[in-house]
Structure 1
Amino acid sequence: MRNIRHPRHAIPWTGAAHNGSEIHELFVATDEWQPVKPGQQIPSGLHVRLDLQTGSREAKLLERDDNKAQQRSNNTQNDQDQKKFNHKEIREALSGINFTSDDVVKDENHDDIIRKKFRPYEELKKDFEEINMRIQTDQEILAELIEKLKKMSNDNDEENEHKKTILTDLEYYLHQYDNALTFSDLGGLTLVHKLFNSTNSDIRALTCLVLGAAWQGNPKVQIKAVEQGFIQSLLRLLSIEPIFTVKLRVIYALSTLLRHFPYAQIKFVKFGGIQSIINVVTQETNDSNKLRMRAISLMNDLITEKDLILSEKNDSQQREKVDQYNKIKLREQLIARGWCSVIGNHLNSNEHDIIEKTLLSMKTLISSCRKDFKSHLTPLNKLMIKYTDLQRDDIDTDGYFTKILDLLQTLTVDLYSDEL
């Protein structure tokens, strides 16, 4: 009787199997069932089935999932086989091991590379102590920037470059409400006030940005600015400044000081702010369009702001603010100086932004400027046709032309209804 091992423990062969003195052919499996010939050796890891009627066997390769299952089964069997050592065998195996010796071979070259890449902790600690690193608060940084600015009294190119860096840093920090208060308390307003007289246009422009950041939405700092004469200084700079970009920054600084601050608006009118704005709007220069729109928008925003405050139901706490707004004669002063004709003349512009800003201002002032605006019915009608075509041609993707068209319709309907 041949001694054939169980298929699970059968050893795969590449050609033939040898068992004692007999040679047996190795069964070659495929993905399809095949009959196993008598005497063929079946490798491990195959599907094997027995035909009970004929007594013949068939075999094929395992599916992928079956292979995994078979592998897990083999691994489990191996683990179980490895666990069949008793305590005596383990003690005998360990008795020949010398646990007192160090069999780890050190790689000196590798250790040298590590030492070159990384510095010892004690050395790093010493370097950090020498640097004396510490985290500065915003207040400490502001104090340091102010001290640096105080030491710069010259108006030469080298110092101006340092001033630009300091002013840029200040603008960043002064957008924070508390930082602006600290800056004001440390004398920062007085210090940068002097920079309006710099011969460097970049310094003058950056100074306006710094002040705008400090004043915006900060009543305590705004009050100090009015008390220190900043309105007069800004209006003077707006009148004499030859550089277009600086003028834009002056308008920005003025707007942050005037918005939602009726006390400053009263001073603005008192110190000739209306005439300064009209001069900007009527001035003809190559870059004047953007500057004109900034000035027109500022005046429209201030008029709208007052109308909104006066239209609200005011309690006793709001009474003082209402009284302050009633003292502002911005609308009256503008109309007295021909503002209605000034803004209406911009309807012939080819720029959509200018048209929009002009129409918004006209809508705000239509009750006071109706007579002047009627003289602009012809350009208004031409604009109606233009923006109707733009809207119909599907160029209006974000509703921008629709908004302008709505403003035109509101104005023309209002002006024509008055005639009827």
Structure 2
Amino acid sequence: MTVKRRFLKKVLLVLSVLLCVPHCLSGTGTARSALMVVEGSEPDGEAQVSDDEDPEDLEVFQPTDQWQELRPGQAVPAGSHVRLDLQTGKREAKLQDSPGEEEEGGRQGTVNTESQTFTAQELKKALKHFKEAAVVPTDEEKEAAEALRAQFRPLDELKRDMEVLGMMMETDFQIMSRLLQQFNSSAASLEERVSALRELEYLVHQVDNAQDFITIGGLQLVIGTLNSSEAVLQEHAALVLGSALSSNPVVQVESVEGGALQKLLLLLATEQPLPVKKKALFAMASLLRHFPFAQQRFLKLGGLQVLEALFLSSGGASLRVRAVTLLYDMIVEKELILQHGLDPVPDASHEARLRQYSQVSLLPQLAERGWCGLVPELLASPEHDVREKALRALLAMMPPCRELYRGDRALAGALSLLQEQYQGLAESERGFGDEDGYFGELLGLVDSMLGKLR
């Protein structure tokens, strides 16, 4: 007999024992049969169960008051006592002497109080249909299962939807192309064109998208829209342009070559709504930062005069601060690059940038255009942020403006008042454990300014 066949026979034998145990433990009546197991090591032999015997032809074992060996396939009458010797693998049976358990030479048995017996064929059928057995659900259980199933979509339906979504997924390039078509459509309303610009502004923040925007003609379209007769289109076109220009040298070069600088200066120099000028100044700052060639063009085209007009215009306090901040950024950018360099490994392009920055004569032109006297006006602002930007710009403009500032008693008086105010505020910060607070930083700027005037 093969190993697999021997294993199956042992499983059937153990199953017969297990099927007997519940009946054996639950009975309370007269003992009719018993199962006795001999304790010991693993059996050297094996129990034999014939596969070919017909249950109708099984021989019935005739028990006596003596232990007799059971032959394979024999049926055991009810009321018999059965034991299994694990050392030999043989089964033995006899008539039951007394109810309950008995001990004999280390052998133990249990009385089966049920009258039911199981043949080998019945055990095979039970084993065959064991996994097929299932509990029949009640109507309430079926309704609960249907209700739960209704809350979720079938897996096949979800898979189909996901495939459709994958086919409908648009790339950023496709979205920008579609938005440009929407903007250019003659049937598009003003609201639809503004909506297209809003969505484009979100997309062109990414460097790659902004460069693709050039490829599909979007940059030239936006620059052209700066001349629109609709102020709302001018405002959003300037916003899209500024977002595409931010830290993107490729777009900066294309914009200068496309005439963006002239159109932005025109918007700032002419009568326009305040939102349009704010967005145009934002686009101008994005175009000039880290681009010395554009800064040279800005000065040649009269950019300082345009900013001066913004500074002096009434009702444009926010524009004054933005204009001074732009000038400060340009001054500091040039100083840092000329003193410390721009690239970790200088190359030919690095040297070219240094030459371009050296040709940007911003500070001399600021002094010439009267900016030394304009910036101190911002110190009168009640907002600490505005004062901070003014102090930083004054310190940056100190080389060409020092002599003027030393003779300006109004400036000295304003700085003294700020020093007294920020000393008290800085003391309060230190009282709360903030040694390097914001007001302490402002006090440091005021002290630096006063120190340079002595």
When normalised by structure 1's length, the TM-score is: 0.69
Contact 2:429/2:437 (<8 A) preserved: no
Q: How far 1:225 sits from its partner (Å)?
A: 0.3
2: CA distance, partners of 1:311 / 1:216: 24
CA displacement 1:288-347 (0-9 Å, x = unmatched) = 222211110100110111122222368553221111112212222221110000112222
The correspondence for 1:140, drawn from 150, 174, 177, is 174
Distance in 2 (alpha carbons) for counterparts of 1:414 and 1:341: 17
Once the two structures are overlaid, the 10-residue window that deviates more, 347-356 or 292-301, is 347-356
Match of 1:220 among 240, 250, 254: 250
Deviates more, 1:253-262 or 1:95-104: 95-104
Over 3 Å counting, the alpha-carbon distance change for 1:96 and 1:346 in structure 2 is closer
2:439 equivalent in structure 1: 401
Which structure 2 residue ranges, 5 or more long, are not aligned? 1-109
1:161-310 matched pairs, under 5 angstroms: 161-285=191-315, 288-310=316-338
Cα pair distance change 1:326/1:152, threshold 3 Å: farther
Distance 1:104 1:205, change over 3 A: same
Alpha-carbon separation, structure 2, partners of 1:119 and 1:392: 65
* 136 and 93 in structure 1: CA distance in 2 versus 1, 3 angstrom threshold: same
Opposite residue 327 of structure 1, the aligned amino acid is Q
8 Å Cα contact 2:328-2:393 kept in structure 1: yes
Q: Which has the larger radius of gyration?
A: 2
Whether the 8 Å CA contact 1:274–1:330 is kept in 2: the answer is: no
Aligned-residue offset at 1:202:
3.6
Residue 387 of structure 2 corresponds to 355
Equivalent residues of 1:235, 1:273 under 8 A apart: yes
Amino acid paired to 2:170:
Q
2:24 aligned partner: none
Q: How many angstroms does 1:392 deviate by?
A: 2.2
Per-residue CA deviation, residues 259-313 of structure 1 (Å, 9 max, x unaligned), is 000111111111111111111112221xx22221111010011011112222236
**Is 2:362 aligned against 1:322?**
no
Query: Partners in 2 of 1:229 and 1:312 — Cα distance?
Result: 32
**Cα-Cα RMSD:** 3.3
State how far apart, in whole Å, the 2-side matches of 1:304 and 1:101 are: 84
CA–CA distance in structure 2, aligned partners of residues 258 and 399 of structure 1: 32
Q: Tell me what 1:311 maps to.
A: 339
Change (3 A) 1:323 1:91: same
Which blocks of at least 5 consecutive residues in structure 1 are unaligned? Answer: 1-83
Matched, 1:388 2:423: yes
After superposition, residues 24-103 of structure 1 pair within 5 angstroms as 99=129
- What is the CA–CA distance in structure 2 between the aligned matches of 1:347 and 1:312, rounded to whole Å? 31
Does 2:433 align with 1:366?
no
Change in Cα spacing, 1:160 to 1:102, as seen in structure 2 (3 Å) is same
Q: CA deviation at 1:115?
A: 7.2
Q: Secondary structure at the match of 1:393?
A: helix
Between stretches 229-238 and 370-379, larger displacement belongs to 370-379
Structure 1's 320 and 129: CA in aligned 2 closer, same or farther, altered over 3 A? Answer: closer
Match of 2:370 in 1: 338
Q: Which has the higher contact order (CA 8 A, sep 6+)?
A: 2
Amino acid at match of 2:172: D
* In 2: Cα distance, 1:102 partner to 1:383 partner: 88
* 1:118/1:377 CA distance change after superposition, 3 Å: closer
Partner residue, 1:51: none
Given residue 200 of structure 2, which amino acid in structure 1 is its aligned partner?
L
- CA distance in 1 between counterparts of 2:162 and 2:247 reads 41
**What residue in structure 2 maps to residue 104 of structure 1?**
136
What corresponds to 1:31 in structure 2? none
Is the alpha carbon distance of 1:236 and 1:111 closer, same or farther for their aligned partners in structure 2, counting shifts above 3 Å?
same
Contact 1:344-1:373 within 8 A present in 2 as well: no
1:183 maps to a residue whose letter is F
Q: 1:204 to 1:110 in 2, by over 3 A?
A: same
Cα 1:197/1:322, change in 2 over 3 Å: same
> How far has the Cα of 1:361 moved from its partner?
0.7
Q: How far is the alpha carbon of 1:199 from its aligned partner?
A: 4.5
CA contact (8 A) 2:182 2:192 kept: no
Find the aligned partners of 2:320 and 2:214 in 1 and give their Cα distance: 31
Offset at 1:241? 4.6
Count of paired positions: 327
When structure 1 is superposed on structure 2, of 190-199 and 265-274 the one drifting more is: 190-199
Separation (CA, whole Å) in 1 of partners of 2:291 and 2:269: 23
Q: Is the 1:343–1:362 contact (alpha carbons within 8 Å) kept by the matching residues of 2? A: yes
Q: CA deviation at 1:257?
A: 0.6
- Displacement, 1:365? 1.2
Offset, 1:223: 0.7
Shift of 1:229: 0.7
Indicate conservation of the 8 Å contact 1:138/1:173, yes or no: yes
C-alpha distance in 1 between matches for 2:169 and 2:205: 20
Contact 2:364 2:400 in 1 (8 A): no
